[in-house]
Amino acid sequence: MKISIGIHGDGDCKGGLYNMLASFSLGLHKGLTTQTEPVKYVYEYLQAMSAPHIAIAFNVIGYNIWDELIKFGTKNIMWTVDSPFHQNISVYEKYKDSQGFASFAVSPSDIEAMKLFFPNIPYFYIPHGTDPDIWQPDDSGEEKEHDIVFLGSIRDSEQNFADLKEKLDKNIYKLLMNIYDFAMQNPDKSFWEIYNLAADQYGFERDNLQLYIFLFQNVCYNITDARRVKLIESLNGLGVKVWGNAIWQKYIKEDAQYMGSAELFEAAKIVRKSKIVLHLQPMQIINGFHERIFNATASGSFLLASHQKNFEESFGDKIGYYKLNNIAGVAERAQYLLANNDEREAKAKAAREITLQNHTWESRAKEILNLIKVE
């Protein structure tokens, strides 16, 4: 029997600030179409009074019809764009015993936690991909407009902790801060590893889902935001340009420039016209891949990223690295790269080829189809 696949969404990248979810749906649709018979969007099946065997949604796109699809016998797959312990935990709780629900994840670091809290949900690690039709290199022949750029938003971690200190029981706040400090000092450890070490030290039960979510969200995201701020501060004097939400204005200092927000196509233009694109891997998806890695390299710009083993395994020395426990050292690396244009551009070109060979939505489509055959 031929397995039919539907993609939630419609491929329309015209609305919203970043449009990333829409571009993911469009990219996956194109990627699957190269590998199998023409793939439809879910709404096209419904218009024809039918349903696909498998429907794939990025986060909760099409959520209002998931129940209906599952009743028709569709296996509905939610592909997260962040950790499942971020904002869609209620979805996992709703479908925790459903035979018609599964999930893909962008990081392998949540697998053990998902086995503990949601043992009946099939859960697989598959990174996102990039769409080379959107993330293209600059072919103008002109010198790139931007030296160093960072694209990404932050929360106000200082205010978050001030609020938590005021409202939490002092012992809970102390536990939170102890775990936060340990995580900050051990950037190579996933939250799951840190949580288990804390459970051993402080004697709390591991299977407390609400405690896990509380600690996960208040440790991981605040650490990621604090590190992003420190990264930009460490590059003072190099004129870094930052695109993201307005909270950055509180933290931008010296000669770094806050440039405002950028929607999808504007972001693609910024990246392709940049000599160096900064990336700091969020703690919440440690050991996975963030789409920024693939988008930047597909655009032919040099990527300077926080070090992870899987980055190095995939890209070798064709991208640059810095250590999260030595963010201050990134400035020297960035200065070297700006001063050595030929070396930087040659490596960026090689990294682009690696991405086009291994990290497009077409590559991910092959992985999905192989997984479906196995399952």
Q: What is the pLDDT of residue 67?
A: 97
Residue-level pLDDT at 90: 95
The CB-side HSE value for 167 (13 A sphere, CA atoms) comes to 6
Evaluate if residue 208 carries a pLDDT over 90.
yes
Average pLDDT, the chain: 94
Q: Which residues pair with 55 in a beta bridge?
A: 6, 76
Contact 348, 248 (CB under 8 A): no
Domains of the chain, each with CATH number or no CATH: 5-129+360-374 (3.40.50), 146-155+225-358 (3.40.50.2000)
- Looking at residue 16, its pLDDT comes to 44
* Stretch 31-55: mean pLDDT: 91
Q: Would you say residue 352 has pLDDT above 90?
A: yes
- For residue 163, count other CB atoms closer than 10 A to its CB: 11
Does residue 213 register a pLDDT over 80? Answer: yes
- 46-60, 251-265, 339-353 — most confident range: 339-353
User: Could you read off the pLDDT of 105-140 as tens digits, one per residue?
Assistant: 999 999 999 999 999 999 999 999 999 999 999 998
pLDDT digits (tens, 9 = 90+) for 295-333: 999 999 999 999 999 999 999 999 999 999 999 889 999
Q: Cα separations (Å) of 109 from 141, 188, 194, 256, 367?
A: 42, 11, 11, 33, 19
0.85 exceeded by pTM: yes
Q: What is the C-alpha separation between 232 and 161, in angstroms, rounded?
A: 21
